[in-house]
Amino acid sequence: MGGLTRRRVIAILALTSILLITMDLRNSSSVSSARRLFGAIFHPIEGVTRVVTTPINNIWHGITDYGDVSQDNKRLKDLIARQEGATIANIAGVREAQELLALNGLPTLAGIDSCTGQVVGQSPSNFSQTVEINRGRRCGIRVGMPVLNAAGLIGKVTESLDDRAVVMLITDPAYSLSVKIVNQPPPKVTVPNKVPESPENQTTTTTSTTTTTTTTIAPKSTIPGFTPGVTIATLPNASPNAPSSESTIAGDIRPGQGNVSQITVPPGANLPLRETGALEGRGLSRAPIVRFIENQPRFGVVYIGSPIVSSGGATSLAPPDIVVGTVSRIISRTGTLGPLLEVKVAANLESLNFVRVLLYQPTTERPSAP
């Protein structure tokens, strides 16, 4: 490296730098090629160093980020506590719904007895998905009864002995069940309102006179002053015998004010839409699918993550509203064929332990009288 005078070194380095900076600022392809070539040499070395230095990096972050992690932990605990509260509220809501269903003579899970058992063995066959549980006929278990665990439906009883029963899992190709897919309502498109030029309608609220097309996702009553499902109270001074001029005008209802008549808007518009289909198992390594979903415009597009529950019915293998899983993939098909839905089963079928057999024998599984 010797032999270069100080001036020459400085001059050469300065000129080289100026040349390179100029080339790079003018987006020279040779500079890009040099970067790519160097990247090809450097990235493997960088990868090895990254692996080697990961423990040191972790120690560093363990020391320096400890406070942040603690705060995050506290925040997440608060979040879990709030969600647990919401879960309790939801459970209460489900309970009320079950009571309402029972009050109206509709079938609910709450009214069905059950027998809890433990999985004691699995099928040695590669072609059937069954498990054996340590409860049987003595507990009231019969062929065809649905079996659940804490997460959801896992299958049905296919054989019942005194203290043993064989349960076919819902992934078994021989398993089929009528299910419901609970979908969210499709986005609602508000068409331009044509406003008649009558004096009454001229005094109507200004929100109905809009002429722009808007897409509103949240379902909302188009009647001004009304909330879906809310009964509007009668004004104290408004009576049929002494109608005021204001109360007789159609649509003269403003938020916070009432009308002479009580009108209840049914809350059906914002309820999730449901569609039925048939769930079929496809083996343990493949997700079950739901067939025979109809292409109904009202039902709209099925979203990934939409819950799937048993549909119930006289010939169904399971009572209604047992959680099966969620939609994990949608396979569209042409024509009138509805989509095929792959199902992510809620229960972990590979690690089953305690299960609950609902003592509900479907009519199709009952032995016919001699």
Partner 1 sequence: MNRILTIAQQPLTRLFLVALIVLSFQTTIFNTMRPFGVCLQVMLLLSTSSGLARGSEIGAIAGFIVGMMYDLVLSTPLGLGAVVFALVGYLAGMTNSFVHQPTWWTKMLLAGAASGLGMLFMPLALTIVGREGVMNRHILVVALVVGVTNAAATVPAERLCGWVLSEPSEVR
Footprint on this chain of partner 1 (rule: CB under 8 A): 1, 4, 6, 9-10, 13-14, 16-21, 23-25, 31, 34-35, 38-39, 41-42, 45-46, 48-50, 53, 56-57, 60-61
Q: Please, what is the minimum distance in Å from the beta carbon of residue 64 to partner 1?
A: 8
Q: Please, what is the minimum distance in Å from the beta carbon of residue 35 to partner 1?
A: 5
Cα distances (angstroms) measured from residue 290 to each of 107, 178, 313: 24, 9, 17
Which CB atom, from 43 or from 366, has the smaller least distance to partner 1?
43
Q: Please, what is the minimum distance in Å from the beta carbon of residue 27 to partner 1?
A: 11
Which CB atom, from 40 or from 218, has the smaller least distance to partner 1?
40
Which CB atom, from 36 or from 298, has the smaller least distance to partner 1?
36
Q: Please, what is the minimum distance in Å from the beta carbon of residue 202 to partner 1?
A: 56
Which CB atom, from 39 or from 187, has the smaller least distance to partner 1?
39
Strands (E), the chain: 114-122, 130-133, 146-148, 153-160, 165-169, 176-183, 188-190, 214-216, 273-280, 289-291, 307-310, 323-331, 340-345, 354-358
Q: What are phi and psi of 102, to 5 degrees?
A: -65, -40
Q: How far apart are the first and last CA of the chain?
A: 107
- In the 8-state DSSP scheme, what is residue 305? T
3-class DSSP assignment, residue 18 = helix
Where on the phi/psi map is residue 79: left (φ > 0), alpha (ψ -120 to 50), or beta? alpha
Which CB atom, from 50 or from 286, has the smaller least distance to partner 1?
50
3-class DSSP assignment, residue 335 = coil
Which CB atom, from 9 or from 80, has the smaller least distance to partner 1?
9
Q: Please, what is the minimum distance in Å from the beta carbon of residue 74 to partner 1?
A: 24
Q: Please, what is the minimum distance in Å from the beta carbon of residue 16 to partner 1?
A: 7
Q: The tokens of 83 are what? A: 């969600």
Q: How many whole angstroms separate alpha carbon 290 and alpha carbon 286?
A: 13
